Structure 1
Amino acid sequence: MSDQVIGAVRDLLPALRERAQQAEDRRRLPEESIKDLDRAGLFRLLQPARFGGHEADPLTFYTAVRLVASACGSTGWVGSVVGVHPWQLALFPEQAQQDVWGPDPDTRISSSYAPTGKARLVAGGYQLSGRWSFSSGCDHASWVFLGGIVTDESGNPVDFCTFLLPREDYAIEDVWDTVGLRGTGSNDILVRDAFVPAHRALSFADTSKCVCPGQEVNPGPLYRLPFGAVFSYTITTPIIGMATGAYEAHVAYMTERVRVSFKGEKSKEDPYAKVRIAEAASEIDAAWLQLKDNMEQLVRHAVAGERIPLSLRLRVRRDQVRGTGRCIQAIDRLFENSGGRALRVGTPIQRFWRDAHAGRVHAINDPERALNMFGTGEFGLPVQDAML
């Protein structure tokens, strides 16, 4: 089944490339693209089998995301972020899963995890209010995950949770007008005094320990992986895909390009252009190979029922931010090697360049924070972070 999904995704790439400019112009993905990804099975890859999902190896999911992002950065970003949410919902109590998938197993969820709102403990659950930004693909979802610091009656923080809300409990404000990832429709979510029952909250303390209530009904190894690893690669993988798409577009363009300023020299005969292509290819390969190796090691531990070592978690975050950095460097190298015509609106290289730099500023891609954590661990000092 996983091979069928990958094959179906490959078949979509020409259409996704053709719609890339349309996504930018609309500032959200065309409905046809969401339906295509749905039919291909992308959104079911990480969904539990008990709800009709594929419960696939995470590398299958990341491979599919990389392919989609190589055709359209915005589509790859939304496909990745929305596509990972079935995995997280599977960690919630069973009732939350039934709330969402019981009526329709194809239901989609968007998210915004930064704890910018207010969550207060009340009888039976939580009272939630506030504004959350950057909820990618929210117009194509009917539920949302929102992060929040929980306070008690005295205003003291007692937990950090992800809250699950249905569409009738929040409003979407159209504020997304950016230079990159324009097609993601990453608008704001507004909540005014919504009640969230206790079963629709998941503590980050539980996800960090890889011990969550949903594992009672979803005991497979897929759901014993760390949130910090699965989600961080959900952000880096589309950027690897964008770099892949930029590379493919650049090589195709340079194969035909003639440099008038250099006496009609063909770019494919320029030795310096070849060096830059080799450098970019190496950076992209390194980012992907480290992702694959790290995820394979995580899965081996999960299959064996072993605790995920802190050293591996730290390496995942180290290589995740370095993978993003490598791909940004590769795209920059290719872009500066493409000449002035690459600046034209509508060309794929400039779109990939803008989209990748937009993805780079996501909080999970903060290199100093992740690298500092790794160095701290190497010295044997205690490391605590919700995204490990």
Structure 2
Amino acid sequence: MNMPIPLPPSFAPGQSSPVPGTPPLSQIVGAAQALVPLLRERAQATEQARRVSAEVTDRFREGGFFKLMQPARFGGYEYGFTAFIDVISTLGRGCTSSAWGCSLGAIHQWMMGTLPLQAQEDVWGQNPDDIVCGSYAPATMAERVDGGYKVQGQWKFASNVDNSQWALLGVHFPPTEKGGAPAAGFLLAPRSDWSVHDNWHVAGQAGTGSKTVLIDKPLFIPEHRKITFAELSSGAPPGADVNRNPIYRIPFLSAVPVCLVSPILGTAEGAVEAFIELCGTRVTRGAVAGAGNQLSQFFPVQSRLAEASALVDAARLMLYRDTTEVEQIAYRGDAISIDQRIRNRRDHAFTAKMSQAAVEALFASVGGAGLALDQPLQRMWRDANAIARHISLNWDAVSSMVGQHLLGLEPKGQY
């Protein structure tokens, strides 16, 4: 039975850590804020390298970002998803790709905390600083064998793979009974068991290093390195003590997509800052008329800035509301309803849509000078458009599922 957790008055589920001696969230967010100038300075180089550097990844480790949601038994802080939003969106103001790499590495520490304890020991027993990449789409059918499974194949879009020591690989598991349906889930494999196909050549989010994991011959993975999507949404995943830390009660898709939304939210906030800075220095040349005026003096510029700032505020408020609500429900020991789960999926996608629209509004006013590759707004524009097209945030895909639910139809999608 899920029991409510008695909380001290100052404890805010999701933004407080239950682990004694953990750094306060303000300190961790401050460390992220301190990195923003460095991330901005290196954003173009990160894009050109098509990956986040090992040096920047080390800075993320030093800031405690990968410990944010890591289980306490392995040195983690066990903060919740609202704390995660604060940290990752802050990094997104500096470099979207770098924030994305950190985001996936940090969220997978929470996911690892749901796997059987032996799997957690495999990953962190020797080195608690190891991080995990992932490829979620079930790319192959796992073969059931004595003691575990065999897999072979290719897993695309494994963001931050170059800096990861393990990989969560999406698979289908064979039915447990005759005539049953396969079950989707993950198997966990160490870096020594797979190779990387360097095929990440893209127009947006180039610095995320979202390459392909290759396993070119059948690989045995033991049973304890398995988890199904159903277990991740069960409210009691196999490796988590949900009564000690109720954050693990939250169904997988009700909160984990904040790892995709937080970078684009931070990007939109960074775009507002970059645009204000540009307006303070930019004097128009004017091909025919209007030369010699500061960009800040034009009404459309002022109006688009106002629109962008409102979109960013609305996006953050919506994301906070939903995430805070499911964290509080988890701490009360209550179940998160289908209505709330689908509402959250709607708002993950709509938050991304608003953040992308904010960047779009600003980029519409930068003129020809804003197209230069060393101008951050054009990169933010490309990165924001890339994230908004992610299948888990794609408005067409998610909104149709929401509409089906509201109309009393069977919702077809991920929730």
Same fold per superposition (TM over 0.5): yes
Match of 1:339 in 2: 367
Give 1:209's aligned residue. 234
Tell me by how many angstroms 1:373 deviates.
2.3
- Cα gap change, 1:217/1:380 in structure 2, threshold over 3 Å: closer, same or farther? closer
Aligned partners of 2:88 and 2:266 also within 8 Å: yes
2:212 maps to 188
Task: Kindly indicate whether the alpha-carbon contact (under 8 Å) linking 1:118 and 1:130 is maintained by their aligned counterparts in 2.
Answer: no
1:355 corresponds to which of 370, 383, 396: 383
Distance 1:314 1:156 in 2: 26
CA distance in 1, matches of 2:83, 2:179: 44
| Alpha-carbon distance in structure 2 between the residues aligned to 1:155 and 1:144 | 31
Paired residue for 1:168? 192
Of 182, 188, 191, the match for 1:158: 182
Matched, 1:296 2:296: no
Contact 1:120 1:152 in 2 (8 A): no
1:139, distance to aligned residue in structure 2 (A) = 0.7
What letter corresponds to residue 198 of structure 2 in structure 1? Answer: D
Task: Give the number of aligned pairs.
Answer: 387
The Cα RMSD (Å) is: 1.7
Q: How does 1:83-162 map to 2 (within 5 A)?
A: 83-151=106-174, 157-162=181-186
User: What does 1:29-48 align with in structure 2 at a 5 Å threshold?
Assistant: 29-48=52-71
Identity of aligned residues (%): 35
Aligned to 1:260: 285
Matched with 1:321 is 349
CA distance in 1, matches of 2:57, 2:63: 10
Is residue 49–residue 55 contact of structure 1 (8 Å, CA) maintained in 2? yes
Aligned to 2:6: none
Match of 1:15 in 2: 38
Deviation at 1:65, TM superposition (A): 0.5
Give secondary structure in 2 for the equivalent of 1:163: strand
CA distance in 1, matches of 2:255, 2:106: 11
The correspondence of residues 238-317 of structure 1 with structure 2, limited to 5 A, is 238-261=263-286, 262-317=290-345
- Give the Cα separation in 2 of the matches to 1:276 and 1:337: 8
Give 3-state SS (helix, strand or coil) of 1:281's partner. Answer: helix
Map of 2:252 onto structure 1: 227
With over 3 angstroms needed to count, the CA separation of the structure-2 counterparts of 1:370 and 1:217, relative to structure 1, is: closer
Moved more, 164-173 or 208-217: 208-217
1:56 matched to 2:79: yes
Q: Counterpart in 1 of 2:397?
A: 369
2:100 is matched with 77
Give the 3-state SS of the residue equivalent to 2:306 in structure 1: helix
Instruction: Read off the aligned partner of 1:50 and give its amino acid letter.
Output: R
Rounded Cα–Cα distance in structure 1 between residues aligned with 2:353 and 2:60: 28
**Larger CA deviation: 254-263 vs 90-99:** 254-263
**Kept in 2: contact 1:114–1:147 (CA 8 A):** yes
The residue type paired with residue 340 of structure 1 is: G
Contact kept in structure 2, 1:19 and 1:30, CA below 8 Å: no
TM-score by structure 2 length? 0.90
Deviation at 1:120, TM superposition (A): 1.3
Q: Which amino acid aligns with 2:150?
A: Q
Gaps of 5+ in 1: none
The TM-score, its normalising length taken from structure 1, stands at 0.96
> Which residue identity lines up with residue 173 of structure 1 in the other structure?
H
Distance of 1:216 and 1:199 partners within structure 2? 17
**Shift in Å, 1:384:** 6.0
Structure with the larger helix share: 1
| Alpha-carbon displacement from aligned partner over 1:65-86 (angstroms, at most 9, x marks no partner) | 0011110011011111111001
